Chain A
């Protein structure tokens, strides 16, 4: 075993990259749940985003157009869930699970013919001087734009939820939909918007896997990331900053265990592979103290 083969700077840099898909998916789901909707279809929306983004990216040759396509694909898929749960009042848990299964199948179908194809990859930032700084340059200034977009989204979601009127209405709808309705707010419309936003974010998260992390298309490539994103939302107590922490933690342990495997540590690979999941859940449980939105998962039935 040779631990000196692990470069801490590269480790932190790749941690941030590994966390980005989770961050997008978790932030999207966080907004959805704050609006009082439990969408368990994150995994399905992520993988659909992964293939939609990959297809658009390959056909157009632009990775950023790919992300746009992924957002559209994820949002469209999530709106199926939206129509079923908000207009046809179906059970959110069952519908969300079905959405995951549907997304997995749909992506496999769409992905026929794209296996083994090489997609476009967004360029890493290269700012003269700054990107060449030792340590800081690689960690802070050496990523592609989507990494920064993810961080900006944390700030944006936090600001929206705590500082803006739209965010206040969204929280009100999630906290008590009957009261929000009685005050004249459009519960279903707010929730559909939140669901579409969540779908778009999950789609982008998925596309980050297929266009940057891996980068190619394989069936089932999200490998449970959507479920981890769901767990992060709950244990982050529905707070954006904590979701960032959770995503980094999971990304960090994932990258670390890969490095440890490469360094030949004397632990069975299976234990190392399961460690990110275990550590993330464990830490988030220990620090959790959140209270779920009051109307989370409840069906809103407009009565007069």
Chain B
């Protein structure tokens, strides 16, 4: 029985056609995947279904009746609920208040708290209604969103990239919950670009590329590779790598401890590590477990005791970023706009800011603009950055292009050690593949690469050794080859979050 249909939906933002003649249908009890790259138009499409954006053309039906929600309240009344990727929780408010805000007519707090306990236990998602959301882990925060939706007994549940912040074990729990919900007859619209998940969870898939529907298929009958090619529209080359012997130890962390940088940060606890020339060391873990602190301690933004960080034999823990760059220890932080690059400054200026010393772009206090522009253009050409020119402002670039520039800028300074944090976060598959290839090439050339990432598939693809960062502690690194998902999950602390919620 068809529950929801969309026919010929169009939506344009200025000159950009975000959705172009999109049609699809979801049956009651079906788990339907919307698959596509970043920028393929998935978000715009679900915003139209949830009443946040009005389509320019086309029509939708819900249970056979015309459906055109003017705002999210109307969508909720029609039985549509949505779990957002981000943006939808209030840190300073408690769980019950957050849930009340998502309901049209919430019961009084006490009755609501009881219902939250009841529903959350029934679906295996335990929650304490009185806790502040700001104190919850990523998995628990998502639980709040799901319970908020379930309390309204929706007919269609939209899940936008729900697993991007979860550990493998948390993903398993989520999937068990979703299967239970769909078995009760609720349709689920599942948005993701993670192919294996879609193959294991979804009954049908609609694949979007550049705003258009390019394919409809049963994801269980296709391989992940076929799905990826439908999504990207071309053949994808897996990064090429040669196994080679690791060289001398070039970076040593010796009992590195450091305080949290922000109120919601994590302190580092006695991290010890040796990184050799020619290897890629992958550090996995869910964001907020000390990644930012580790990067800051390595880049020199946060100074530590000299002996805690050693470059070769030399203690560098007390040196600032500029001195470390001079030695050959370079970093590319996670946040592209505002940390790795100054948003309003041109690519030339951004190239100067990091490469001034190593590329000799300043002499006796004066900038060498010609050389700086040349270097920026070298990065643009070498890393396939799609941009009108080096004078474009960093904020004018798309995420993928800016990320290629930021990584390329460091790689072309010929580092001895390069530390990257979430190198391909929010980047489309093609740009991500280019960035990974660049990191592998850098390591093959004899540099050491430390890649901090939440994306375990990525780490398995590029790492020689893998370690997990959990609550500011680093597990002992293990060879990446042959590690199973279960082993990685246990290294990441596995389902530790699950225990917290029972308290």
Contacts and interface: CB of A to CB of B under 8 A. Distances in A.
A294 B87 contact: no
Interface stretch (B95-103, B194-202, B230-238, B354-362): B95-103
A172 B52 contact: no
A149 to B, nearest CB: 29
Interface in B223-260: none
A169 B88 contact: no
B91 A176 contact: yes
Interface residues of B, number: 23
A53 B91 CA distance: 41
A162 to B, nearest CB: 10
B102 A183 contact: yes
A165 B76 CA distance: 18
A172 B101 contact: yes
Contacts of B91: 175-176, 294
B90 A175 contact: yes
A168 interface: yes
A293 B53 CA distance: 27
B366 interface: no
Contacts of A180: 90, 101
A294 B92 CA distance: 8
Contacts of A268: none
A93 to B, nearest CB: 19
B89 interface: yes
B84 A175 contact: no
Nearest to B69: A184
A134 interface: no
A304 B101 contact: no
Contact of A172 (B44, B93, B106): B93
A10 interface: no
Given A172-B101, A182-B72, A183-B101, A304 B13 contact: yes
A169 B53 contact: no
Contacts of B461: none
Contacts of A171: 90, 92-93
A169 B90 contact: no
A182 B92 contact: no
Contact of A169 (B72, B76, B101): B101
Interface string A158-189: 00000001001101100110111111110000
Interface residues of A, number: 19
B71 interface: yes
Given A172-B101, A175-B93, A304 B88 contact: no
Interface in B367-387: none
A304 B52 contact: yes
Given A168-B97, A172-B101, A179 B90 contact: yes
A291 B91 CA distance: 11
B153 to A, nearest CB: 18
Contact of B89 (A176, A181, A184, A293): A176
Contact of A304 (B47, B93, B106): B47
Contact of A175 (B51, B76, B92, B102): B92
B73 interface: yes
Interface in B66-123: 71-73, 76, 84, 87-93, 97, 100-102, 106
Given A169-B101, A175-B92, A179-B88, A184 B73 contact: yes
Given A168-B97, A169-B101, A175-B93, A184 B72 contact: yes
Interface in A270-304: 291, 293-294, 304
B84 A304 contact: no
Contacts, number: 57
A179 B87 contact: yes
A182 B101 contact: no
A169 B101 CA distance: 7
A169 B87 CA distance: 15
A183 B88 contact: yes
Contact of A168 (B53, B73, B76, B101): B101
Contacts of A179: 84, 87-90
Given A171-B93, A183-B72, A304-B13, A176 B87 contact: yes
A171 B106 CA distance: 16
Contacts of A184: 51-52, 71-73, 76
Contacts of A182: 52, 72, 84, 87-88
B97 A291 contact: no
Interface in B466-496: none
A183 B73 CA distance: 8
B249 to A, nearest CB: 44
Nearest to B11: A304
A26 B52 CA distance: 35
Contact of A178 (B44, B87, B102): B87
Nearest to A163: B109
A170 to B, nearest CB: 11
Contacts of A291: 92
Contacts of B84: 179, 182
Contacts of B88: 179, 182-183
B92 A293 contact: yes
Contacts of B100: 165, 168
A298 B315 CA distance: 42
Contact of B44 (A176, A185, A304): A304
A176 B47 CA distance: 18
Interface string A174-216: 0110111111110000000000000000000000000000000
A304 B92 CA distance: 25
A176 B87 CA distance: 8
Contacts of A293: 92
14 contacts: A169-B101, A172-B90, A172-B101, A175-B91, A176-B87, A176-B89, A179-B84, A179-B87, A180-B101, A182-B84, A182-B88, A183-B101, A291-B92, A304-B47
Given A168-B97, A175-B91, A179-B84, 19 more contacts: A165-B106, A168-B100, A168-B101, A171-B90, A175-B90, A176-B87, A176-B90, A178-B87, A179-B87, A179-B88, A179-B89, A180-B101, A181-B52, A182-B72, A183-B102, A184-B76, A291-B92, A293-B92, A294-B90
Interface of B: 13, 44, 47, 51-53, 71-73, 76, 84, 87-93, 97, 100-102, 106
The 7 residue pairs across chains A and B that have the minimum distance between CB atoms? A184-B72, A175-B90, A179-B88, A304-B53, A178-B87, A184-B73, A184-B71
